[in-house]
A and B are shown apart, each in its own frame.
Chain A
Protein backbone atom coordinates (compact mmCIF):
# COMPACT_ATOMS: atom_id res chain seq x y z
CA UNK A 1 0.00 0.00 0.00
CA UNK A 2 1.35 3.35 -0.98
CA UNK A 3 0.19 6.73 0.13
CA UNK A 4 0.46 9.75 -2.06
CA UNK A 5 0.07 13.32 -1.02
CA UNK A 6 -1.40 15.76 -3.47
CA UNK A 7 -2.04 19.20 -2.15
CA UNK A 8 -4.44 19.13 0.77
CA UNK A 9 -6.01 15.88 -0.42
CA UNK A 10 -4.81 12.57 1.01
CA UNK A 11 -5.04 9.92 -1.73
CA UNK A 12 -4.34 6.24 -1.28
CA UNK A 13 -3.70 3.85 -4.16
CA UNK A 14 -3.95 0.06 -3.99
CA UNK A 15 -3.04 -2.42 -6.72
CA UNK A 16 -6.30 -4.31 -7.20
CA UNK A 17 -6.59 -5.81 -10.69
CA UNK A 18 -3.52 -7.64 -11.86
CA UNK A 19 -2.44 -7.55 -15.49
CA UNK A 20 -3.96 -10.84 -16.64
CA UNK A 21 -7.29 -9.89 -15.15
CA UNK A 22 -7.30 -6.56 -16.89
CA UNK A 23 -6.27 -8.13 -20.17
CA UNK A 24 -9.05 -10.66 -19.76
CA UNK A 25 -11.58 -7.93 -19.05
CA UNK A 26 -10.93 -6.13 -22.28
CA UNK A 27 -10.69 -9.26 -24.41
CA UNK A 28 -13.92 -10.42 -22.85
CA UNK A 29 -15.60 -7.08 -23.50
CA UNK A 30 -14.47 -7.16 -27.10
CA UNK A 31 -15.68 -10.76 -27.58
CA UNK A 32 -19.06 -10.04 -26.08
CA UNK A 33 -19.65 -6.99 -28.20
CA UNK A 34 -18.74 -9.05 -31.26
CA UNK A 35 -21.07 -11.84 -30.14
CA UNK A 36 -23.96 -9.49 -29.51
CA UNK A 37 -23.64 -7.80 -32.89
CA UNK A 38 -23.06 -10.96 -34.91
CA UNK A 39 -25.67 -12.87 -32.91
CA UNK A 40 -28.20 -10.22 -33.73
CA UNK A 41 -27.49 -10.52 -37.43
CA UNK A 42 -27.62 -14.31 -37.30
CA UNK A 43 -31.11 -14.04 -35.91
CA UNK A 44 -32.23 -11.18 -38.18
CA UNK A 45 -30.05 -11.31 -41.27
CA UNK A 46 -29.31 -8.26 -43.40
CA UNK A 47 -31.32 -7.70 -46.59
CA UNK A 48 -30.66 -10.11 -49.43
CA UNK A 49 -27.55 -9.48 -51.47
CA UNK A 50 -27.79 -9.55 -55.26
CA UNK A 51 -25.96 -11.90 -57.59
CA UNK A 52 -24.80 -15.47 -57.47
CA UNK A 53 -24.63 -17.31 -54.18
CA UNK A 54 -21.06 -18.30 -54.98
CA UNK A 55 -20.07 -14.60 -55.04
CA UNK A 56 -21.04 -14.05 -51.46
CA UNK A 57 -20.53 -15.47 -48.00
CA UNK A 58 -22.12 -12.73 -45.94
CA UNK A 59 -23.97 -14.72 -43.32
CA UNK A 60 -21.18 -17.26 -43.47
CA UNK A 61 -18.67 -14.61 -42.33
CA UNK A 62 -21.01 -13.26 -39.70
CA UNK A 63 -21.47 -16.72 -38.29
CA UNK A 64 -17.73 -17.33 -38.48
CA UNK A 65 -17.08 -14.15 -36.52
CA UNK A 66 -19.64 -15.26 -33.95
CA UNK A 67 -18.08 -18.65 -33.51
CA UNK A 68 -14.55 -17.20 -33.41
CA UNK A 69 -15.55 -14.65 -30.78
CA UNK A 70 -17.38 -17.43 -28.96
CA UNK A 71 -14.24 -19.53 -28.71
CA UNK A 72 -12.14 -16.52 -27.70
CA UNK A 73 -14.70 -15.85 -24.98
CA UNK A 74 -14.59 -19.46 -23.82
CA UNK A 75 -10.81 -19.71 -23.82
CA UNK A 76 -10.47 -16.37 -22.01
CA UNK A 77 -13.05 -17.44 -19.48
CA UNK A 78 -11.23 -20.69 -18.76
CA UNK A 79 -8.02 -18.75 -18.18
CA UNK A 80 -9.96 -16.34 -16.00
CA UNK A 81 -11.15 -19.26 -13.87
CA UNK A 82 -7.56 -20.41 -13.59
CA UNK A 83 -6.59 -16.88 -12.57
CA UNK A 84 -9.20 -16.95 -9.83
CA UNK A 85 -7.13 -19.67 -8.22
CA UNK A 86 -3.70 -18.13 -8.62
CA UNK A 87 -4.48 -14.41 -8.69
CA UNK A 88 -4.98 -12.08 -5.78
CA UNK A 89 -8.08 -12.07 -3.62
CA UNK A 90 -9.89 -9.66 -5.98
CA UNK A 91 -9.57 -12.21 -8.74
CA UNK A 92 -11.89 -14.49 -6.79
CA UNK A 93 -14.44 -11.92 -5.80
CA UNK A 94 -17.06 -12.27 -8.53
CA UNK A 95 -16.89 -16.07 -8.34
CA UNK A 96 -17.48 -16.34 -4.62
CA UNK A 97 -19.77 -13.68 -3.22
CA UNK A 98 -19.93 -14.24 0.56
CA UNK A 99 -23.61 -15.04 0.44
CA UNK A 100 -23.48 -16.71 3.87
CA UNK A 101 -22.52 -13.45 5.56
CA UNK A 102 -25.34 -11.39 7.09
CA UNK A 103 -23.06 -8.40 7.30
CA UNK A 104 -22.33 -8.57 3.57
CA UNK A 105 -26.05 -8.57 2.76
CA UNK A 106 -26.36 -5.50 4.93
CA UNK A 107 -23.72 -3.86 2.77
CA UNK A 108 -25.65 -4.92 -0.36
CA UNK A 109 -28.67 -3.22 1.11
CA UNK A 110 -26.71 -0.12 1.84
CA UNK A 111 -25.49 -0.01 -1.74
CA UNK A 112 -29.06 -0.39 -3.00
CA UNK A 113 -30.05 2.56 -0.86
CA UNK A 114 -27.16 4.53 -2.31
CA UNK A 115 -28.44 3.86 -5.83
CA UNK A 116 -31.98 4.72 -4.73
CA UNK A 117 -30.68 8.09 -3.49
CA UNK A 118 -31.73 7.04 0.00
CA UNK A 119 -28.36 7.63 1.64
CA UNK A 120 -26.15 10.59 1.15
CA UNK A 121 -22.78 8.91 1.09
CA UNK A 122 -21.50 5.71 -0.51
CA UNK A 123 -19.17 3.34 1.23
CA UNK A 124 -15.64 2.81 0.13
CA UNK A 125 -14.31 -0.42 -1.39
CA UNK A 126 -10.99 -1.69 -2.56
CA UNK A 127 -12.56 -4.46 -4.62
CA UNK A 128 -16.09 -4.43 -6.08
CA UNK A 129 -18.80 -3.03 -4.01
CA UNK A 130 -21.13 -5.81 -2.73
CA UNK A 131 -23.98 -4.98 -5.08
CA UNK A 132 -21.61 -5.05 -8.05
CA UNK A 133 -20.22 -8.36 -6.87
CA UNK A 134 -23.69 -9.79 -6.66
CA UNK A 135 -24.78 -8.47 -10.06
CA UNK A 136 -21.60 -9.71 -11.71
CA UNK A 137 -21.91 -13.09 -10.11
CA UNK A 138 -25.49 -13.66 -11.09
CA UNK A 139 -25.77 -11.88 -14.41
CA UNK A 140 -22.24 -12.20 -15.69
CA UNK A 141 -20.87 -15.48 -14.36
CA UNK A 142 -24.04 -17.51 -14.67
CA UNK A 143 -25.10 -15.62 -17.77
CA UNK A 144 -21.86 -16.33 -19.57
CA UNK A 145 -21.83 -19.95 -18.48
CA UNK A 146 -25.34 -20.25 -19.88
CA UNK A 147 -24.34 -18.64 -23.15
CA UNK A 148 -21.26 -20.80 -23.48
CA UNK A 149 -23.14 -24.02 -22.84
CA UNK A 150 -26.04 -23.21 -25.12
CA UNK A 151 -23.66 -21.76 -27.70
CA UNK A 152 -21.59 -24.93 -27.70
CA UNK A 153 -24.74 -27.03 -27.91
CA UNK A 154 -25.83 -25.08 -30.98
CA UNK A 155 -22.35 -25.36 -32.41
CA UNK A 156 -22.41 -29.12 -31.88
CA UNK A 157 -25.54 -29.36 -34.01
CA UNK A 158 -23.67 -27.98 -36.98
CA UNK A 159 -20.47 -29.87 -36.19
CA UNK A 160 -22.42 -33.12 -36.12
CA UNK A 161 -23.08 -36.01 -33.80
CA UNK A 162 -19.46 -37.15 -33.88
CA UNK A 163 -18.05 -33.84 -32.64
CA UNK A 164 -16.97 -33.23 -29.06
CA UNK A 165 -19.29 -30.23 -28.92
CA UNK A 166 -22.20 -32.48 -29.75
CA UNK A 167 -21.20 -35.24 -27.38
CA UNK A 168 -20.40 -32.98 -24.47
CA UNK A 169 -23.09 -30.37 -24.95
CA UNK A 170 -25.77 -30.84 -27.63
CA UNK A 171 -26.48 -34.40 -26.59
CA UNK A 172 -27.86 -33.36 -23.21
CA UNK A 173 -28.68 -29.67 -23.65
CA UNK A 174 -31.19 -30.25 -26.45
CA UNK A 175 -33.27 -32.87 -24.62
CA UNK A 176 -33.04 -30.71 -21.50
CA UNK A 177 -34.68 -27.80 -23.32
CA UNK A 178 -37.10 -30.06 -25.20
CA UNK A 179 -35.89 -29.37 -28.71
CA UNK A 180 -33.29 -27.44 -30.64
CA UNK A 181 -35.58 -24.50 -31.24
CA UNK A 182 -35.91 -23.83 -27.54
CA UNK A 183 -32.11 -23.78 -27.23
CA UNK A 184 -31.99 -21.14 -29.96
CA UNK A 185 -34.75 -19.20 -28.27
CA UNK A 186 -33.05 -19.05 -24.89
CA UNK A 187 -29.59 -18.45 -26.34
CA UNK A 188 -31.20 -15.60 -28.23
CA UNK A 189 -32.83 -14.28 -25.08
CA UNK A 190 -29.33 -14.25 -23.57
CA UNK A 191 -28.38 -11.62 -26.12
CA UNK A 192 -30.77 -9.24 -24.42
CA UNK A 193 -29.53 -10.22 -21.00
CA UNK A 194 -26.07 -9.09 -22.04
CA UNK A 195 -27.30 -5.88 -23.61
CA UNK A 196 -28.98 -5.09 -20.31
CA UNK A 197 -25.91 -6.12 -18.28
CA UNK A 198 -23.48 -4.09 -20.35
CA UNK A 199 -25.73 -1.02 -20.30
CA UNK A 200 -26.05 -1.06 -16.54
CA UNK A 201 -22.41 -2.06 -16.06
CA UNK A 202 -20.99 0.78 -18.08
CA UNK A 203 -23.39 3.27 -16.56
CA UNK A 204 -22.55 2.16 -13.06
CA UNK A 205 -18.81 2.24 -13.77
CA UNK A 206 -18.95 5.77 -15.13
CA UNK A 207 -21.30 7.00 -12.40
CA UNK A 208 -19.28 5.44 -9.60
CA UNK A 209 -16.15 6.88 -11.06
CA UNK A 210 -17.70 10.29 -10.68
CA UNK A 211 -19.77 9.91 -7.53
CA UNK A 212 -18.11 7.26 -5.36
CA UNK A 213 -15.17 7.64 -3.06
CA UNK A 214 -12.78 5.58 -5.24
CA UNK A 215 -11.47 5.42 -8.79
CA UNK A 216 -13.27 2.97 -11.10
CA UNK A 217 -12.59 3.43 -14.78
CA UNK A 218 -8.87 3.92 -14.56
CA UNK A 219 -8.62 0.91 -12.26
CA UNK A 220 -9.60 -1.48 -15.01
CA UNK A 221 -6.88 0.10 -17.14
CA UNK A 222 -4.00 0.56 -14.73
CA UNK A 223 -4.96 -1.91 -12.05
CA UNK A 224 -4.61 0.70 -9.32
CA UNK A 225 -7.50 1.78 -7.17
CA UNK A 226 -7.22 5.33 -5.93
CA UNK A 227 -9.36 6.83 -3.21
CA UNK A 228 -10.82 10.25 -2.74
CA UNK A 229 -10.61 10.23 1.07
CA UNK A 230 -8.46 8.60 3.76
CA UNK A 231 -11.12 6.88 5.82
CA UNK A 232 -10.83 3.06 6.04
CA UNK A 233 -12.40 0.87 3.39
CA UNK A 234 -15.56 -1.17 4.03
CA UNK A 235 -14.61 -4.39 2.20
CA UNK A 236 -15.67 -7.62 3.93
CA UNK A 237 -12.11 -8.89 4.34
CA UNK A 238 -10.00 -5.82 4.44
Chain B
Protein backbone atom coordinates (compact mmCIF):
# COMPACT_ATOMS: atom_id res chain seq x y z
CA UNK B 1 0.00 0.00 0.00
CA UNK B 2 1.33 3.40 -0.89
CA UNK B 3 0.69 6.72 0.68
CA UNK B 4 -2.92 7.55 1.41
CA UNK B 5 -4.16 10.97 0.44
CA UNK B 6 -5.14 12.97 3.46
CA UNK B 7 -7.06 16.17 3.97
CA UNK B 8 -3.78 18.05 4.14
CA UNK B 9 -2.77 16.66 0.76
CA UNK B 10 -6.00 17.99 -0.67
CA UNK B 11 -5.26 21.46 0.57
CA UNK B 12 -1.67 21.28 -0.61
CA UNK B 13 -2.82 20.16 -3.99
CA UNK B 14 -4.97 23.24 -4.15
CA UNK B 15 -1.90 25.37 -3.63
CA UNK B 16 -2.41 26.02 0.06
CA UNK B 17 0.78 26.45 2.08
CA UNK B 18 1.46 24.74 5.39
CA UNK B 19 1.24 28.10 7.08
CA UNK B 20 -2.23 28.76 5.79
CA UNK B 21 -3.18 25.15 6.50
CA UNK B 22 -2.34 25.66 10.17
CA UNK B 23 -4.19 28.95 10.12
CA UNK B 24 -7.18 27.10 8.66
CA UNK B 25 -7.00 24.64 11.52
CA UNK B 26 -6.98 27.30 14.19
CA UNK B 27 -9.79 29.22 12.50
CA UNK B 28 -11.85 26.08 12.20
CA UNK B 29 -11.14 25.21 15.81
CA UNK B 30 -12.21 28.69 16.85
CA UNK B 31 -15.38 28.57 14.76
CA UNK B 32 -16.27 25.27 16.36
CA UNK B 33 -15.87 26.91 19.74
CA UNK B 34 -12.72 24.92 20.61
CA UNK B 35 -9.73 26.03 22.57
CA UNK B 36 -6.83 27.24 20.41
CA UNK B 37 -4.59 24.50 21.87
CA UNK B 38 -6.63 22.00 19.91
CA UNK B 39 -5.60 23.40 16.53
CA UNK B 40 -2.34 21.44 16.29
CA UNK B 41 -4.18 18.26 17.21
CA UNK B 42 -6.64 18.94 14.44
CA UNK B 43 -3.81 19.58 11.98
CA UNK B 44 -2.15 16.32 12.96
CA UNK B 45 -5.35 14.39 12.46
CA UNK B 46 -6.00 15.88 9.06
CA UNK B 47 -2.42 15.21 7.97
CA UNK B 48 -2.09 11.58 8.84
CA UNK B 49 -5.28 9.61 9.17
CA UNK B 50 -6.58 6.91 6.80
CA UNK B 51 -10.16 7.29 5.72
CA UNK B 52 -13.06 6.00 7.82
CA UNK B 53 -15.40 3.68 5.89
CA UNK B 54 -18.92 5.00 5.56
CA UNK B 55 -21.98 3.04 4.55
CA UNK B 56 -24.64 5.46 3.35
CA UNK B 57 -28.02 3.74 3.20
CA UNK B 58 -31.21 5.05 1.67
CA UNK B 59 -34.63 4.11 2.98
CA UNK B 60 -37.87 5.89 2.20
CA UNK B 61 -36.66 9.33 1.22
CA UNK B 62 -36.29 11.76 -1.64
CA UNK B 63 -32.47 11.86 -1.89
CA UNK B 64 -32.44 15.56 -1.16
CA UNK B 65 -30.04 14.93 1.69
CA UNK B 66 -27.53 13.49 -0.78
CA UNK B 67 -28.20 16.38 -3.10
CA UNK B 68 -27.56 18.77 -0.22
CA UNK B 69 -24.35 16.97 0.68
CA UNK B 70 -22.88 17.35 -2.79
CA UNK B 71 -23.71 21.07 -2.72
CA UNK B 72 -21.37 21.69 0.22
CA UNK B 73 -19.09 24.59 -0.61
CA UNK B 74 -16.52 23.94 2.10
CA UNK B 75 -15.32 21.30 2.07
CA UNK B 76 -16.34 20.22 -1.40
CA UNK B 77 -18.02 16.84 -1.59
CA UNK B 78 -15.28 15.63 -3.93
CA UNK B 79 -12.71 16.25 -1.20
CA UNK B 80 -14.81 14.56 1.46
CA UNK B 81 -15.36 11.51 -0.70
CA UNK B 82 -11.85 11.20 -2.08
CA UNK B 83 -9.86 12.28 0.93
CA UNK B 84 -11.70 12.31 4.23
CA UNK B 85 -13.94 9.27 4.27
CA UNK B 86 -14.24 6.12 2.26
CA UNK B 87 -17.78 6.14 0.92
CA UNK B 88 -17.93 2.42 0.29
CA UNK B 89 -21.67 2.07 -0.10
CA UNK B 90 -24.06 4.70 -1.39
CA UNK B 91 -26.55 3.40 -3.91
CA UNK B 92 -26.98 6.86 -5.42
CA UNK B 93 -23.45 7.16 -6.73
CA UNK B 94 -21.75 3.76 -6.46
CA UNK B 95 -20.55 1.98 -9.58
CA UNK B 96 -21.63 -1.51 -8.54
CA UNK B 97 -25.22 -2.72 -8.59
CA UNK B 98 -27.19 -5.78 -7.52
CA UNK B 99 -25.20 -8.57 -5.84
CA UNK B 100 -21.94 -6.72 -6.23
CA UNK B 101 -23.40 -3.77 -4.35
CA UNK B 102 -24.95 -5.86 -1.61
CA UNK B 103 -21.68 -7.70 -1.09
CA UNK B 104 -20.04 -4.45 -0.01
CA UNK B 105 -22.29 -4.08 3.02
CA UNK B 106 -21.43 -7.61 4.16
CA UNK B 107 -17.74 -6.98 3.65
CA UNK B 108 -17.54 -3.67 5.51
CA UNK B 109 -19.63 -4.95 8.41
CA UNK B 110 -17.15 -7.78 8.96
CA UNK B 111 -13.89 -6.17 7.99
CA UNK B 112 -14.31 -2.90 9.85
CA UNK B 113 -16.14 -4.12 12.94
CA UNK B 114 -16.77 -1.18 15.23
CA UNK B 115 -14.85 1.16 12.97
CA UNK B 116 -17.20 2.31 10.28
CA UNK B 117 -19.90 4.94 10.29
CA UNK B 118 -23.43 4.20 9.18
CA UNK B 119 -25.03 7.21 7.49
CA UNK B 120 -28.78 6.89 7.09
CA UNK B 121 -30.83 8.93 4.69
CA UNK B 122 -34.53 8.19 4.84
CA UNK B 123 -36.24 5.73 7.11
CA UNK B 124 -37.75 2.25 7.23
CA UNK B 125 -41.49 1.59 6.87
CA UNK B 126 -42.92 -1.03 9.21
CA UNK B 127 -46.28 -1.67 7.55
CA UNK B 128 -46.69 -4.55 5.10
CA UNK B 129 -43.72 -6.24 6.79
CA UNK B 130 -41.48 -3.47 5.57
CA UNK B 131 -42.18 -4.11 1.88
CA UNK B 132 -42.93 -0.45 1.14
CA UNK B 133 -39.17 -0.19 0.79
CA UNK B 134 -37.47 -3.20 -0.77
CA UNK B 135 -33.76 -3.69 -1.29
CA UNK B 136 -32.39 -6.88 -2.77
CA UNK B 137 -35.89 -8.37 -2.59
CA UNK B 138 -36.05 -7.86 1.18
CA UNK B 139 -37.30 -5.13 3.48
CA UNK B 140 -34.96 -2.17 3.81
CA UNK B 141 -35.21 -2.72 7.56
CA UNK B 142 -33.15 -5.92 7.16
CA UNK B 143 -30.36 -4.07 5.39
CA UNK B 144 -30.47 -1.31 7.97
CA UNK B 145 -30.17 -3.73 10.86
CA UNK B 146 -27.34 -5.59 9.22
CA UNK B 147 -25.42 -2.42 8.43
CA UNK B 148 -25.99 -1.09 11.94
CA UNK B 149 -24.87 -4.27 13.65
CA UNK B 150 -21.14 -3.45 13.85
CA UNK B 151 -21.05 0.26 13.26
CA UNK B 152 -19.26 2.74 15.48
CA UNK B 153 -22.04 5.28 15.27
CA UNK B 154 -24.99 6.29 13.14
CA UNK B 155 -25.58 9.60 11.49
CA UNK B 156 -29.28 10.18 10.88
CA UNK B 157 -29.24 12.55 7.92
CA UNK B 158 -32.17 14.85 7.54
CA UNK B 159 -35.62 14.94 8.98
CA UNK B 160 -36.55 11.52 7.52
CA UNK B 161 -33.93 9.60 9.45
CA UNK B 162 -34.13 11.89 12.49
CA UNK B 163 -37.87 12.29 12.91
CA UNK B 164 -39.81 10.56 10.11
CA UNK B 165 -40.45 13.52 7.83
CA UNK B 166 -42.99 13.69 5.05
CA UNK B 167 -43.82 10.00 4.65
CA UNK B 168 -44.48 9.83 8.39
CA UNK B 169 -46.91 12.76 8.19
CA UNK B 170 -50.49 11.98 9.06
CA UNK B 171 -51.79 9.32 8.35
CA UNK B 172 -48.33 7.79 7.76
CA UNK B 173 -49.66 5.06 5.46
CA UNK B 174 -46.43 3.06 5.41
CA UNK B 175 -45.80 3.49 9.12
CA UNK B 176 -42.39 4.98 8.46
CA UNK B 177 -40.31 5.44 11.62
CA UNK B 178 -37.08 7.29 12.33
CA UNK B 179 -33.86 5.32 12.76
CA UNK B 180 -33.71 5.62 16.56
CA UNK B 181 -37.02 3.78 16.82
CA UNK B 182 -35.52 0.63 15.32
CA UNK B 183 -31.82 0.80 16.20
CA UNK B 184 -31.45 1.31 19.93
CA UNK B 185 -27.95 0.10 20.76
CA UNK B 186 -25.77 2.57 18.86
CA UNK B 187 -24.92 6.22 19.32
CA UNK B 188 -27.07 8.21 16.91
CA UNK B 189 -26.25 11.70 15.74
CA UNK B 190 -29.30 13.41 14.32
CA UNK B 191 -28.67 16.02 11.68
CA UNK B 192 -32.22 17.13 10.95
CA UNK B 193 -33.45 19.43 8.22
CA UNK B 194 -35.29 18.81 5.03
CA UNK B 195 -32.62 18.68 3.87
CA UNK B 196 -29.90 19.68 6.37
CA UNK B 197 -27.62 22.56 5.43
CA UNK B 198 -24.88 21.18 3.12
CA UNK B 199 -22.01 22.73 5.05
CA UNK B 200 -23.46 21.44 8.32
CA UNK B 201 -23.49 17.92 6.90
CA UNK B 202 -19.86 18.04 5.84
CA UNK B 203 -18.90 19.78 9.08
CA UNK B 204 -20.38 16.96 11.14
CA UNK B 205 -18.41 14.40 9.14
CA UNK B 206 -15.25 16.47 9.25
CA UNK B 207 -15.61 16.99 12.97
CA UNK B 208 -15.78 13.25 13.61
CA UNK B 209 -12.81 12.57 11.32
CA UNK B 210 -10.76 15.40 12.74
CA UNK B 211 -11.35 15.18 16.45
CA UNK B 212 -11.89 11.44 16.46
CA UNK B 213 -14.93 11.79 18.61
CA UNK B 214 -18.63 12.25 18.21
CA UNK B 215 -20.00 15.74 18.61
CA UNK B 216 -21.73 16.70 21.83
CA UNK B 217 -25.47 16.21 21.48
CA UNK B 218 -28.49 17.86 23.01
CA UNK B 219 -31.28 15.91 24.70
CA UNK B 220 -32.87 15.12 21.36
CA UNK B 221 -29.63 13.85 19.87
CA UNK B 222 -28.62 16.80 17.71
CA UNK B 223 -25.08 18.23 17.65
CA UNK B 224 -25.14 21.24 19.94
CA UNK B 225 -22.73 23.09 17.72
CA UNK B 226 -25.34 23.57 15.01
CA UNK B 227 -28.72 23.01 16.62
CA UNK B 228 -28.65 24.80 19.95
CA UNK B 229 -30.24 28.03 18.81
CA UNK B 230 -33.37 28.95 16.95
CA UNK B 231 -33.49 30.60 13.55
CA UNK B 232 -35.22 33.51 15.33
CA UNK B 233 -32.34 34.00 17.78
CA UNK B 234 -29.93 34.89 15.00
CA UNK B 235 -32.28 36.14 12.33
CA UNK B 236 -31.15 39.34 10.66
CA UNK B 237 -34.81 40.45 10.49
CA UNK B 238 -35.09 40.26 14.27
CA UNK B 239 -34.82 44.03 14.78
CA UNK B 240 -38.01 44.37 12.73
CA UNK B 241 -39.70 41.79 14.91
CA UNK B 242 -38.78 43.68 18.06
CA UNK B 243 -39.78 46.97 16.49
CA UNK B 244 -43.17 45.61 15.47
CA UNK B 245 -42.58 45.78 11.71
CA UNK B 246 -44.08 42.92 9.76
CA UNK B 247 -44.83 41.71 6.28
CA UNK B 248 -48.63 41.86 6.32
CA UNK B 249 -49.19 40.39 2.83
CA UNK B 250 -46.92 38.86 0.21
CA UNK B 251 -45.02 41.38 -1.87
CA UNK B 252 -46.32 44.34 0.12
CA UNK B 253 -44.19 47.34 0.93
CA UNK B 254 -42.95 45.64 4.10
CA UNK B 255 -41.88 42.57 2.12
CA UNK B 256 -39.81 44.75 -0.17
CA UNK B 257 -38.22 46.40 2.84
CA UNK B 258 -37.36 43.03 4.35
CA UNK B 259 -39.52 43.22 7.47
CA UNK B 260 -40.17 40.28 9.77
CA UNK B 261 -42.18 37.34 8.38
CA UNK B 262 -43.82 36.38 11.70
CA UNK B 263 -47.32 37.24 10.49
CA UNK B 264 -46.77 35.15 7.34
CA UNK B 265 -46.31 32.11 9.56
CA UNK B 266 -42.54 32.14 9.96
CA UNK B 267 -41.49 29.21 12.14
CA UNK B 268 -38.14 30.78 13.00
CA UNK B 269 -39.20 31.24 16.66
CA UNK B 270 -39.81 27.52 17.04
CA UNK B 271 -37.08 26.02 14.88
CA UNK B 272 -33.64 24.87 15.93
CA UNK B 273 -31.24 25.10 13.02
CA UNK B 274 -28.24 27.04 11.80
CA UNK B 275 -29.82 28.64 8.71
CA UNK B 276 -29.80 32.21 9.94
CA UNK B 277 -26.12 31.97 10.82
CA UNK B 278 -24.36 29.67 8.35
CA UNK B 279 -26.97 30.26 5.64
CA UNK B 280 -27.24 28.01 2.62
CA UNK B 281 -25.17 26.93 -0.35
CA UNK B 282 -21.95 28.67 0.49
CA UNK B 283 -23.72 31.35 2.51
CA UNK B 284 -25.70 32.75 -0.43
CA UNK B 285 -29.07 33.05 1.33
CA UNK B 286 -31.56 31.21 3.50
CA UNK B 287 -35.35 30.92 3.34
CA UNK B 288 -36.13 34.11 5.24
CA UNK B 289 -33.56 36.13 3.34
CA UNK B 290 -35.35 35.13 0.15
CA UNK B 291 -38.71 36.26 1.46
CA UNK B 292 -40.45 33.10 2.64
CA UNK B 293 -40.90 32.25 6.30
CA UNK B 294 -39.09 29.32 7.78
CA UNK B 295 -41.34 26.25 7.58
CA UNK B 296 -39.55 24.56 10.47
CA UNK B 297 -38.08 21.81 8.33
CA UNK B 298 -35.64 20.61 10.99
CA UNK B 299 -38.31 20.13 13.68
CA UNK B 300 -39.90 16.89 14.72
CA UNK B 301 -43.31 16.51 13.09
CA UNK B 302 -43.18 19.80 11.22
CA UNK B 303 -45.53 18.51 8.52
CA UNK B 304 -48.35 18.09 10.99
CA UNK B 305 -47.93 21.45 12.73
CA UNK B 306 -50.83 23.03 10.88
CA UNK B 307 -50.47 25.17 7.75
CA UNK B 308 -47.11 26.63 6.86
CA UNK B 309 -48.65 30.08 6.92
CA UNK B 310 -49.96 29.83 10.50
CA UNK B 311 -47.62 30.23 13.39
CA UNK B 312 -49.43 27.86 15.70
CA UNK B 313 -50.22 24.21 15.46
CA UNK B 314 -53.70 23.05 14.63
CA UNK B 315 -55.23 20.93 17.31
CA UNK B 316 -56.97 17.78 16.14
CA UNK B 317 -59.60 16.72 18.60
CA UNK B 318 -63.06 15.26 18.37
CA UNK B 319 -62.71 14.83 14.63
CA UNK B 320 -62.26 18.52 13.96
CA UNK B 321 -59.19 20.57 13.35
CA UNK B 322 -58.85 24.06 14.77
CA UNK B 323 -56.20 26.46 15.99
CA UNK B 324 -55.82 27.66 19.57
CA UNK B 325 -57.55 30.98 18.89
CA UNK B 326 -60.57 29.37 17.26
CA UNK B 327 -60.94 27.01 20.19
CA UNK B 328 -60.35 29.78 22.74
CA UNK B 329 -62.67 32.28 21.12
CA UNK B 330 -65.41 29.69 20.90
CA UNK B 331 -64.93 28.67 24.52
CA UNK B 332 -64.83 32.28 25.71
CA UNK B 333 -67.91 33.07 23.62
CA UNK B 334 -69.86 30.14 24.99
CA UNK B 335 -68.85 30.91 28.58
CA UNK B 336 -69.53 34.63 28.12
CA UNK B 337 -73.00 33.92 26.79
CA UNK B 338 -73.67 31.42 29.55
CA UNK B 339 -72.60 33.95 32.18
CA UNK B 340 -74.83 36.62 30.66
CA UNK B 341 -77.81 34.26 30.52
CA UNK B 342 -77.12 33.07 34.05
CA UNK B 343 -76.94 36.64 35.28
CA UNK B 344 -80.24 37.46 33.61
CA UNK B 345 -81.99 34.47 35.14
CA UNK B 346 -80.44 35.26 38.55
CA UNK B 347 -81.66 38.84 38.38
CA UNK B 348 -85.15 37.75 37.38
CA UNK B 349 -85.30 35.19 40.10
CA UNK B 350 -84.05 37.64 42.66
CA UNK B 351 -86.60 40.20 41.60
CA UNK B 352 -89.35 37.60 41.86
CA UNK B 353 -88.12 36.30 45.25
CA UNK B 354 -87.90 39.81 46.59
CA UNK B 355 -91.31 40.59 45.22
CA UNK B 356 -92.61 37.42 46.90
CA UNK B 357 -90.99 38.29 50.22
CA UNK B 358 -92.16 41.82 50.25
Contact = CB atoms under 8 A, between A and B. Distances in A.
A199 B334 CA distance: 11
Contact of A188 (B243, B259, B271, B324): B324
Nearest to A41: B244
Given A53-B240, A181-B305, A196 B335 contact: yes
Contacts of B331: 192, 196
B180 interface: no
Contact of A181 (B242, B270, B339, B349): B270
A48 B254 contact: yes
A85 interface: no
Interface in A158-176: 158, 160-161, 171-172, 175
B245 A117 contact: no
Interface string A54-76: 11111110110000000000000
Interface in B328-358: 328-329, 331-332, 335-336, 339, 342-343, 345-346, 349-350
B18 interface: no
A20 interface: no
Contacts of A7: none
B346 A211 contact: yes
B286 interface: no
Contacts of A211: 346, 350
Q: For chain A, what secondary structure do more than half of its interface residues adopt (helix, strand, loop), or is it mixed? A: helix
Interface residues of B, number: 53
A199 B300 CA distance: 37
A157 B349 CA distance: 53
B220 interface: yes
Interface residues of A, number: 47
Given A179-B299, A195-B328, A203 B315 contact: no
A199 B244 contact: no
Contact of B313 (A63, A182, A192, A207): A182
B315 A185 contact: yes
A115 B343 CA distance: 10
A175 B324 contact: no
A161 B217 CA distance: 12
Given A185-B323, A191-B324, 19 more contacts: A45-B244, A48-B244, A53-B239, A53-B243, A54-B243, A58-B243, A157-B269, A179-B296, A179-B302, A180-B299, A181-B311, A181-B312, A185-B312, A185-B315, A191-B328, A192-B327, A203-B339, A207-B343, A211-B346
25 contacts: A43-B311, A45-B246, A48-B254, A49-B243, A53-B243, A54-B239, A55-B243, A57-B243, A57-B244, A59-B243, A59-B244, A60-B243, A60-B244, A157-B269, A160-B228, A160-B229, A175-B219, A179-B270, A181-B267, A181-B312, A184-B269, A185-B315, A188-B324, A192-B328, A193-B328
Interface of A: 43-49, 53-60, 62-63, 115, 117, 157-158, 160-161, 171-172, 175, 178-182, 184-186, 188-189, 191-193, 195-196, 199-200, 203, 207, 210-211
